Amino acid sequence: MLRKTAEGVPEAMHVCFVVEGYPVPQDPFMPFIRNTVAEMARQGVQCTVIAPQSVTRAVMHKVPIRPRHWQDVVEPGRAVVDIWQPWYITLSNRGGRFNLDQMIRAARKVYRTQVSKQSVDLLYAHFWHTGVAASLLDDAKPLFVACGESKIAVQECFTPQEIRKMLDQLSGTIYVSTKSYEESLKLGLQQEGKPYVILPNGYDPQRFPPMDRQAARQKLGWPQDACVAAFVGAFDARKGAARVSQALTEVNRARPVYACFIGDGPERPDCPNLLHAGRVDHAQVATYLNAADFFVLPTTHEGCCNAIIEALACGLPVISSTGSFNDDVLTPENSIRIDPMDVQALAKAIDTLAADPERRRALAAGARATAAGLTIEQRVRRLIAFLEQIEDQPECG
């Protein structure tokens, strides 16, 4: 998608992202946002991000308050992203519509006083409710929404009139899974004739490369001959940390299976042979995954789970849910799928992989084959092609 100057010289597409957060090392909130933005910048798209920051959240979570305007240097001299993070006040997690209105007010001000002067081609919002917020910034620009939320809550946040206004402006939708598309269709958000594309989340091969398992274990000080299950996610009921811990306790009555839990939350794992339970630096997650034999995540709700895709990238067989959100990435060739609430089924799947190295090797090969088609570079290339295709049509207004 190219604009031309008065002299007929092509210019890169300029996308304004409207999002709830933008990750930095000290506060890695919503890392998938930067994955997409940074790769689009690498591929020649001019990217501007509006991500209002709640001062209340920063104080409560003890993370630094960022400047209102800064730049994310993806590649020096080649790919630089303008980040606008106006400050606003929220009422903790129970502020509801007040919090949304404060965020929209902050975003609207910086859009109208700063960003709109830069010849923006389109607005790109992550999640349906942020799409409504984006439509309130500028109703004359083409609007695209990326739907990947685990549960679509836009109808709990905005009035039917506000949602209708957004849908009338909408140029196209990007879904991270068939499940997200079907849920949006059921809710009346995906309308007949409106363009859409289904693009599962992608991973960065430089951040999640396959590594030698023995070398990774030596680095972490793990036993070389152990069978290790890895879990990455919040320690809560949705992700199923306690269910995995219970299943591993059951399996360990028959055979030793070690465990690594990466994350945090109220459900602290307490199974036998626990190698790690807690947070790790995001840059080190790949080392922990590569040191494991398989990945376990009995999650109940997702859009498209980044942790599963990153596990596949590291060549790990996956044990996860039969939920439809996994249908686009998990197959019998790379995974065992179970009822995520059935601890006995989970224990059986873990025991099956622990007892059968050949099965693990076969599923690992399937994981690597699947991951080969899920890189962030490929995903963004398809995304840009979709945006270009739609934007070749007459502009909405």
Do 333 and 239 share a structural domain? yes
Do 96 and 27 share a structural domain? yes
Q: Domain of 236? A: 213-371
Report residue 348 as tokens: 């059986």
Provide the residue count of the chain.
397
Residue 396 lies in a domain: no
Do 105 and 232 share a structural domain? no
Answer whether 172's CB lies under 8 Å from 196's CB.
Answer: yes
**Cβ partners under 8 Å of residue 336, min gap 6:** 317, 318, 319, 349, 352, 353, 363
Coil/strand/helix, residue 303: coil
Residue bearing tokens 């049509």: 393
Do 386 and 320 share a structural domain? no
- 310-345, pLDDT tens digit by residue? 999 999 999 999 999 999 999 999 999 999 999 999
Report residue 182 as tokens: 């079907």
Distance of alpha carbon 7 from alpha carbon 5, whole angstroms: 5
Residue 396 is predicted with a pLDDT of: 41
Q: Is 186 exposed, middle or buried (CB count within 10 Å of its CB: 0-12, 13-18, 19+)?
A: exposed
Residue bearing tokens 């920051």: 53
Burial state string for 75-104 with b = 16 or more CB within 10 A and e = fewer than 16:
eeeebebbbbbbbbebeeeebeeebbebbb
- Concatenating the DSSP letter of every residue in 99-140 gives HHHHHHHHHHHHHHHTGGGG---EEEEESHHHHHHHHTT-TT
Give how far Cα 97 sits from Cα of 90, 92, 120, 233, 318, Å: 10, 12, 28, 28, 39
Do 386 and 295 share a structural domain? no
Split at pLDDT 50, 70, 90, the class of 77 is: confident
- 198-218, pLDDT tens digit by residue? 999 999 999 999 999 999 999
Answer whether 89's CB lies under 8 Å from 111's CB.
Answer: no
Do 274 and 195 share a structural domain? no
Do 381 and 342 share a structural domain? no
Do 252 and 161 share a structural domain? no
Answer whether 383's CB lies under 8 Å from 174's CB.
Answer: yes
Report residue 59 as tokens: 């104080």
Mean pLDDT of the chain: 94
Residue 397 lies in a domain: no
Do 342 and 289 share a structural domain? yes
Beta strands in the chain (DSSP E): 2-4, 10-12, 14-18, 46-50, 53-54, 69-75, 79-84, 87-88, 122-126, 143-147, 170-175, 196-198, 228-232, 258-262, 274-278, 294-297, 318-321, 335-338
Residue 207 lies in a domain: no
Do 182 and 250 share a structural domain? no
Residue 208 lies in a domain: no
Do 270 and 175 share a structural domain? no
Number of domains in the chain: 2
Split at pLDDT 50, 70, 90, the class of 392 is: low
- 125-163, pLDDT tens digit by residue? 999 999 999 999 999 999 999 999 999 999 999 999 999
Split at pLDDT 50, 70, 90, the class of 5 is: very low
Residue 105 lies in a domain: yes
Residue 219 lies in a domain: yes
Residue 1 is predicted with a pLDDT of: 43
